Amino acid sequence: MTETSITAPYYRQNEPQPGEPEKWWRFFTFSTDHKVIGIQYIVTAFVFFLVGGFLAMVMRGELITPEADLVDRTVYNALFTMHGTIMLFMWTFPVLNGLANYLVPLQIGARDMAFPRLNAVAFWMVPVFGTILMASFLVPGGPSQSGWWAYPPVSLQNPTGNLINGQFLWILAVALSGISSIMGAVNIVTTIIRMRAPGMTFFKMPVFCWTVAAAQTIQLFGLPALTAGAVMLLFDLTVGTSFFDPATGGDPVLYQHFFWFYSHPAVYVIILPVFGVFSELFPVYARKPLFGYKFVAVSSFVITGLSAIVWVHHMFASGTPSWMRMLFMATTMTISVPTGVKIFAWVATVWGGKIRLTTPMLFALGGLVNFLFAGITGIMLAAVPFDIHVNNTYFVVGHFHYVIYGAAVMGIYAAIYHWFPKMTGHMYYEGLGKLHFVLTFIGVNLNFLPMHPLGLQGMPRRVASYDPEFAYWNVIASIGAFLLGVSVLPFLLNMISSWILGDEAPANPWRAIGLEWLVASPPPHENFAEIPTVVSEPYGYGKSEPLIAQQMASTELASELS
């Protein structure tokens, strides 16, 4: 069998049913269709991405001059707190949940998630806690100013003395976000364990599903620790208990342990699905099987396991005993092994392939380059002596923005472009997509590369004013930030106009191999007319083996039996 027969849309006869994603109003209802919920997640998260990005641009506007002149210092504190909180809890987690929601059932050959109603509830909590967090701009005293990690005793200050203050709303929003994420994680993990199509063993499952399972496992064991810490912080703030307040005998460092036990692995919750996206995209656009598929798949869970034993590297400067610092330095550096396995596999996949530089491929390659850079500075930061030197400086800010924006957001863009034809049934405009990539890639590097020399020179993070000697790099970074702001415009224009006017997308525009490409674009209600039987590994590019067993439609089967 040749490749064309694999790519032939097997279920082309299933035209989208009435009331399916074309009908836009469905996206404003309590739908239990995983495809609708997936798009709801992605669009809602993107709105919050724009809000968080706007806050970032105000901050960069402030930092373009050394003096604190654009906004008040307390406003600046609120800006960086809200920027971090929004970007993590309201953009990256929901958008990746959206991608997982949309793709996992399609990729494993299921009709929907295991718990469709729970899925819808989990999604509708996102606008709820988003609104709660936004409402903190309106309460007296404004939003929380204690940074996205809300360390006590700073987070316990409550200068206005009101019960409903910015910090209170912050804890409430984060707690609700945690509940929503746990619902999502239970749902996704159950779906992957229980609902795979016949023949789809774990080692025939696409890497995206592996990485999503690995990421959601982190949510399951990590989030409860954050919840425990948040509950205690809430009691300290409202009732006046003394868990974390050193003034009444509490232990503020214990909060840091609770917080980072979740919030470091949370970075892997974000980056693992993006690893999955890279692993899906490189084989398609290089026309080669994924190099070392099993190693790439399993290394995701190695990262999950290691992520649970590295959190103290955020606390090297928190009075941590030196034996503990050495231990966590070693475990942190170990993470680079499974990550290196992946990078090696991606490079080997692309190497010598028939590369098509479409927009998703450009974003994936750009994301890979940025991730490699972020990984190198990550190893530098894992080293205790170096970390003590740059602790709480812009070097750290530069490092994690390369991870979150340079790798994760670019990977998310890659995924959105790659699966846009599948989700909407329309093609996007390649030219606008490439413009978007160029602006984003240049913007990321202009914005975040200067933060590294700034940090090495000792510029602290979270300050509204700085010594004039740092002005040069700050101006460049601010220009990069505004460029990133501009880069969203071609993306928005492209997505909205293509969704309405774009050319009709075939079932498999990229000649990709995978169950999601066997159904029509957009997929019909309940995805598969007949659940396929999977017979071979994914990524069989250049091989002549079919992905699924040929089946007879049930009507033919019935007539044959009679």
Partner 1 sequence: MSSVNLDQNLNTAATVHAADHHEEGEHRLVGFIIFLLSESVIFFSFFVGYIVYKTTTADWLPAGVEGLEVREPLINTIVLVSSSFVIYFAERYLKKENLWGFRALWLLTMAMGSFFLYGQAVEWASLSFGFTDGLYGGTFYLLTGFHGLHVLTGVLMMAVMLGRSFIPGNYEDGEVGVIATSLFWHFVDVIWIILFILIYVWQ
Judged by beta carbon, residue 321 or residue 385, the one nearer partner 1 is: 321
Q: Between residues 242 and 336, which has the closer beta carbon with respect to partner 1?
A: 242
Does residue 235 interact with partner 1 by CB under 8 A?
Answer: yes
Stretch that binds partner 1, among 159-167, 237-245, 337-345, 466-474 (CB under 8 A): 237-245
Instruction: Assess contact for 229 and 240: CB atoms under 8 A.
Output: no
Binding characters for partner 1, 239-278, by CB under 8 A (x = yes): xxxxx----xxxx--x---x--x-----------------
Binding flag, residue 189, partner 1 (CB under 8 A): yes
Nearest C-alpha neighbor of 398 from the set 358, 359, 456: 456
Task: Determine which residue in the list 1, 138, 228, 489 makes contact with partner 1, applying CB under 8 A.
Answer: 228
Of 221 and 344, which has the nearer Cβ to partner 1?
A: 221
In terms of CB distance, is 185 or 403 closer to partner 1?
A: 185
What is the CA 3 to chain-centroid distance, rounded? 32
Identify which of residues 65 and 241 has a Cβ nearer to partner 1 in the complex. 241
Whole-angstrom distance, CA of residue 152 vs CA of residue 128: 26
Encoded tokens for 128 = 């709820």
Q: How many residues does the chain have?
A: 562
Among 221, 295, 344, 386, contact with partner 1 (rule: CB under 8 A): 221
43 binds partner 1 (CB under 8 A): no
Choices 124-132, 218-226, 447-455, 492-500 (CB under 8 A): range interacting with partner 1: 218-226
Gyration radius (Cα) of the chain, Å: 24
Report in angstroms the alpha-carbon separations of 439 from 330, 355, 401, 486: 38, 22, 16, 8
- Which whole-number Å values give the CA distances from 97 to 180, 182, 313, in the listed order? 10, 11, 27
**Among the residue ranges 140-148, 178-186, 315-323, 529-537, the one whose residues contact partner 1 (CB under 8 A):** 178-186
- Taking residues 522 to 561 in sequence order and writing x for each that binds partner 1 by CB under 8 A, - otherwise, the string is ------------------------------------x---
Question: Tokens 């609770």, residue?
Answer: 258
CB 181 → partner 1: shortest distance, Å?
Answer: 10
* Of the candidates 451, 90, 80, 419, the residue with the CA atom closest to the CA atom of residue 276: 419
Q: Is 197 helix (H, G, I), strand (E, B) or coil?
A: coil
Q: Could you tell me the smallest distance in angstroms from the CB atom of residue 246 to partner 1? A: 12
Query: Distance between CA 176 and CA 126 in Å, rounded?
Result: 8
CB atoms within 10 A of CB 531: 20
- What is the closest distance, in whole angstroms, from the C-beta atom of residue 247 to partner 1 in the complex? 12
Q: Which residues 98-137 are close enough to bind partner 1 by CB under 8 A? A: 114-115
Name the H helices within 392-470: 394-401, 410-424, 430-448, 451-457
In the numeric block, the tokens 């819808």 are attached to: 120
List residues binding partner 1 (CB under 8 A).
Answer: 114-115, 182, 185-187, 189-190, 193-195, 220-225, 227-229, 231-232, 235, 239-243, 248-251, 254, 258, 261, 558, 562
